[in-house]
Every structure is written in structure tokens, then in C-alpha cells.
Amino acid sequence: MLKGKTALVTGSTSGIGLGIARALAAQGANIVLNGFGDTEGPKAEIAALGVKVAYHGADMSKPAEIEAMMTFAAAQFGQVDILVNNAGIQHVAKIENFPVERWDAVLAINLSSAFHATRLALPAMQAAHGGKGWGRIINVASVHGLVGSAEKSAYVAAKHGIVGLTKVTALENATTGVTCNAICPGWVLTPLVQKQVDAKAAAGGISNEQATQQLLGEKEPSMQFTTPEELGALAVFFCSPAGNNVRGVAWNMDGGWAAQ
Ligand code: NAD
């Protein structure tokens, strides 16, 4: 379905980003990966799906590096048709103890990076299909883009912000073939969440399994994690013809978290 298209997925060396990259590649899209840590494993995994893959190591907190990544992607594959703004970090502390430097980092990586990548991707998307436009911008927000949780001020502020940015991006392009939507996962067992499970286990002197059950029990009625595969399938839907007029939604996949 996406053969000949190019998808750039930020923060795609692990977790949800890698899951979405995998799902888009399985539909035939060429992929530009980004993120830290092991890059060879994810690159080989995507290439094995029979598509072209490139990697750029832009630090998403740095606008100049984001600009270099977008130029690199266009040089590699012509243009970016699908942009998935996924890179994100977490920091947990009460507001009065929240390190100012962590606040700035969370806002830069989880929110401002999406603004920069979006503003740089839009002109080519708007010019596609003889000026009628075609493009998909998918922002990986969070259920924390819809509701709050204590000790996550920067994350909740950034995720509410990205849901707002999603709506404005969708509205400004509503008469074109460029859509923008947000995905709002509940708990997904990635390294980002494993750290929170480990902290809970250490603080309570309990096992990993008990900490996991506690974490789910506090927020997620389904008592199960959403998977990167499920989130990848939702991203594929947004890219499909059926998604042509889905604009500005914040779609939660959260086991009922926000329904409470
Ligand atoms: P993860 O830690 O597994 O992956 C984060 C990715 O972002 C990695 O590839 C990492 O290298 C990259 N990254 C981090 N800082 C970066 C930077 N400065 N520049 C470039 N890349 C950077 O985490 P994840 O759980 O897969 O999170 C992905 C997204 O999903 C985040 O935006 C997160 O807020 C969101 N999310 C996660 C959950 C969850 O439960 N895991 C729930 C809701 C939303």
C-alpha cells in the first residue's frame, strides 16, 4: 500500500518508533530511522522487509540537527511523505523538585522537535500530487496528552501541547491531501516504561511482576500493555486511503485509561 513512499520516524531505534517503522515498512514504505543506541540491528531488521532504509542520528532537542536530518532524508529518497514524530523522554518528579534542565529537555524533545520536523516536512507534502498535496503527519502523543498524572508535569504539558499542535496542523492543511493525527497510547512496555517499573519495584521492595501489576492497576482498566505492533497498525490506518479525511484526532489506545 505504501510502496514508493518514504516515512521518517523519529526515535525509531527502539520501542514504539521501531514498531511503527516496522509496520510502515511492511506496507512497502522506505524508512528513515532516527534515535540513539544500537542502529545496526534496527536497520537490518527494516532492510529485511525489502525496503530501502537510511539512518540519521539527529538529536531531536537541536533544531539545526533536525534541519540536517530533513535535508538528508530528501537527498536520500526525494522527499518525506510520512512523518512520525515519536521521539520522547520522561522525567518523574514533583514540580517543586523538577530539575529545570529536565523540563527544558522534555519540552524540546517531546514537543518542539515535532514543530521543527513538521514545519520542514510540510512544503514538500503540500506540493505533492501536482499541488493537491499528499502527506501524513502522525504525532505520537500519549494518554497524557488527554489527562494528567502527578509528578509528570513536563511530560503532560508537552503531550497536551502536541495534541494542540496536531489540531492546528490538521486545520491548516484541511483542504489538502495532508493529514495530521495523534496517537495516544496508555502503558506500552518499552525501555521508557521499564525504568518506571524498576523504580516502583525498588521503592516498594517488590518484585518486577508485582510492580508491573501495580503500575497497570493504577491506571489501565484492561490490565494489559498496548503493543508497538498495535500502534503500528493504527499508523498504517492513518496512512491508508480510508484515513484521507481523518484530521486532527487524538486517538487513544490506552486500555480504557481515559474513559474513567
Ligand atoms: P523508548 O525509550 O523505547 O524510545 C524512545 C526513542 O527516542 C529511542 O529511539 C531513543 O533513542 C529516542 N530518543 C530519545 N531522545 C532522543 C533525542 N534527543 N533525539 C533523538 N532521538 C531520541 O520509548 P517509547 O516508549 O518507545 O516512547 C516513544 C514515544 O511514545 C515517546 O514520545 C513517548 O512519550 C510515547 N509514549 C510512550 C508510552 C509508553 O508507555 N511507553 C506511552 C505513551 C506515549
Confidence of residue 192 (pLDDT cuts 50, 70, 90): confident
Residue 17 CB less than 6 A away from ligand 1 = yes
Residue 42 CB less than 6 A away from ligand 1 = no
Would you call 55 a catalytic residue per the annotation? Answer: no
Q: Give the residue-averaged pLDDT of 53-67.
A: 98
Percent of the chain with pLDDT over 70: 100
pLDDT digits (tens, 9 = 90+) for 216-239: 999 999 999 999 999 999 999 999
The pLDDT, as a whole number, for residue 129 is: 95
Contact between residue 117 and residue 144 where contact means Cβ atoms under 8 Å apart:
no
Residue 189 CB less than 6 A away from ligand 1 = no
Residue 14 CB less than 6 A away from ligand 1 = yes
pLDDT digits (tens, 9 = 90+) for 87-100: 999 999 999 999 99
Q: Could you identify the atom of ligand 1 that is nearest to the CA of residue 226?
A: 40
**Which of 188, 197, 234 has most ligand 1 atoms within 8 Å of its beta carbon, as the pocket-test mutant?**
188
pLDDT digits (tens, 9 = 90+) for 133-167: 999 999 999 999 999 999 999 999 999 999 999 99
**Alpha carbon separation from 115 to 22, 42, 118, 140, 193 (Å, rounded):** 24, 25, 5, 13, 25
**Which of 32, 36, 147 has most ligand 1 atoms within 8 Å of its beta carbon, as the pocket-test mutant?**
36
pLDDT digits (tens, 9 = 90+) for 77-131: 999 999 999 999 999 999 999 999 999 999 999 999 999 999 999 999 999 999 9
The pLDDT, as a whole number, for residue 63 is: 98
Catalytic one of 155, 187, 225, 257: 155
**Which of 86, 112, 184, 218 has most ligand 1 atoms within 8 Å of its beta carbon, as the pocket-test mutant?**
86
* pTM of the shown model: 0.98
Looking at residue 252, what DSSP letter applies?
A: E
The pLDDT, as a whole number, for residue 250 is: 98
Q: Which helix (H) or strand (E) holds 21?
A: helix 15-26
Bridge partners for 83 per DSSP? 8, 137
CA 202 / ligand 1 centre spacing (Å): 23
What nine digits make up the cell of 255? 486500555
Q: Give the residue-averaged pLDDT of 192-206.
A: 94
CB proximity list for 20: less than 8 A, separation 6 or greater: 9, 12, 84, 86, 138, 140, 228, 231, 232, 235
